[in-house]
A and B are shown apart, each in its own frame.
Chain A
């Protein structure tokens, strides 16, 4: 038997033991965003014909919460284990680098999807449910959780201190998620920022996810899938290479 199921179980247990901080708190945060933005902008913005701004906001917020929590899960788990030293307990057993990757990845996706689903349920109080292509949404949800979960593993391995991880979060994750069309359509941006957004993989995740809700999006969902999928494969390759080499984990 392999150590993978237990490592995954431990990763799930770790965030579930503090579910208020790791699941409920981010849902509340997303609800606050929804409340404030919809109140402030509802009468001024319409992105797609026939879709209210509140409805437009829902998939973006769900995805943003999902992505941020997927990243937070693997990165904080790894940095905490490294700093407290209990990382040795997973380095001593015969767990392969691939199983290691898979366990942290699945833990991240699970928490991200859980928070995302919670946010979505919360938004039902503000906007009627709308999911015209649920499979597309599911695919982008999993892909987004996987992408940011992988980035979290990379950041967790790379950082040696909490400050470094915080920098990673503030200078990479935050801009990527905020400059991705969560609150607006990128077509409404000045041309420079429009061009920049098109290089942001998170934009494709959110746009594709939104397509699943409304059947309308800024770019074709196939293109979004290709871009997000390619990024996921590339990041996973980097991450697996780091793990296989023992980068910063096994001197």
Chain B
């Protein structure tokens, strides 16, 4: 069996009285495209920091391609590229210098060909000789992505790489990351744009208050919320009695229901008729990751 790209076992981390990670265990296979999702403060960045050696766990073990991030940190860090969530840059350097120096930190001193390719792929070639201070926020974020890739790491973790990035780059960035994934790189990303995770990632872990509350293939997660999602707006505020147990209130006179199949629609309509209510608006769709995410976060 090949070694996992990333493996985490029994990870615990406290910040004073705050238990930021509670017994987190997780494995990501080589070549996977994996999403780590969760609301603000769930512990995603903390987990990534431990993997990157920026923070130390209180208990548990983390490995990158089988190398412990503490004991075998040199090898682990060589194999890992991290795009940090916080925008940071060195104000003394140009974009190209930033990448050359980052590359040198990994012991790679003649890396021009690859650096040029990253610059092009991330639409930075026009800015290569600009000072970092002169870049817009989105451009700085691109450089952050580029810095994580200078040493061609087999495992790449991106902590909200698309925050503050325009639509065009978001698409070209994902195209580039997909290409890296096809070339065999393992990709782990966090994002609050759930449609990105839904379309890109094969597998998803959801974190809440430092605990993993869901871990499954994206397709399984999407099915877990029922086949169909029905939304109805009525002419009155009360939900028909027969539906009260299943309905989720979405707004004034609006409620939603999960249906196992299309055949379930008829009984719902019958319940509405029986209650003497009139439907003002109705929509039917397959649940998306956002629906599932909300369900899981509410349930746990």
Q: Which residues of A contact B (CB under 8 A)?
A: 1-3, 5-7, 9-10, 13-14, 17-18, 84-86, 88-96, 246, 250-251
A6 touches B55 (CB 8 A): no
B88 touches A94 (CB 8 A): no
B107 touches A250 (CB 8 A): no
Interface size on B, residues (CB 8 A): 33
B54 touches A89 (CB 8 A): no
B104 touches A6 (CB 8 A): yes
Across-interface contacts of B52 in A (CB, < 8 A): 91-92
Closest to A91 in B: B54
10 closest residue pairs by CB, A with B: A6-B104, A1-B107, A85-B88, A93-B105, A94-B74, A3-B105, A94-B77, A251-B55, A86-B88, A17-B92
Given known A-B contacts A17-B92, A92-B82, A250 and B53 have beta carbons under 8 A apart: yes
Please report which residues of chain B, range 74-128, place their CB below 8 angstroms from some CB of chain A when the two chains form the complex: 74-75, 77-78, 80, 82, 84, 86-93, 101-109
Smallest Cβ distance from B187 to chain A, in angstroms? 17
What is the bound-complex CA distance between A94 and B102, given in angstroms? 11
Smallest Cβ distance from B262 to chain A, in angstroms? 51
Q: Which residues of B contact A (CB under 8 A)?
A: 49, 52-56, 73-75, 77-78, 80, 82, 84, 86-93, 101-109, 147, 151
Task: Pick the contact of B105: A7, A13, A17, A85 (CB < 8 A).
Answer: A7
Across-interface contacts of A89 in B (CB, < 8 A): 88, 90, 101-102, 105, 147
A6 touches B89 (CB 8 A): no
Across-interface contacts of A2 in B (CB, < 8 A): 107
Across-interface contacts of B84 in A (CB, < 8 A): 85, 88
What is the bound-complex CA distance between A5 and B74, given in angstroms? 16
Among B78, B89, B105, the one with the most A-chain Cβ atoms within 10 Å of its Cβ is: B105
Closest to B100 in A: A6
Across-interface contacts of B73 in A (CB, < 8 A): 94
B104 touches A3 (CB 8 A): yes
What is the bound-complex CA distance between A178 and B85, given in angstroms? 45
Closest to B150 in A: A93
Task: Pick the contact of B106: A3, A10, A85 (CB < 8 A).
Answer: A3
Across-interface contacts of A13 in B (CB, < 8 A): 92-93
Task: Pick the contact of B54: A10, A18, A92, A95 (CB < 8 A).
Answer: A92
Q: List 22 A-B contacts (CB under 8 A).
A: A1-B108, A3-B105, A5-B104, A5-B109, A6-B101, A6-B103, A7-B104, A13-B93, A14-B92, A85-B84, A86-B89, A88-B84, A88-B88, A89-B101, A89-B102, A89-B105, A89-B147, A91-B54, A93-B77, A93-B151, A250-B53, A250-B54
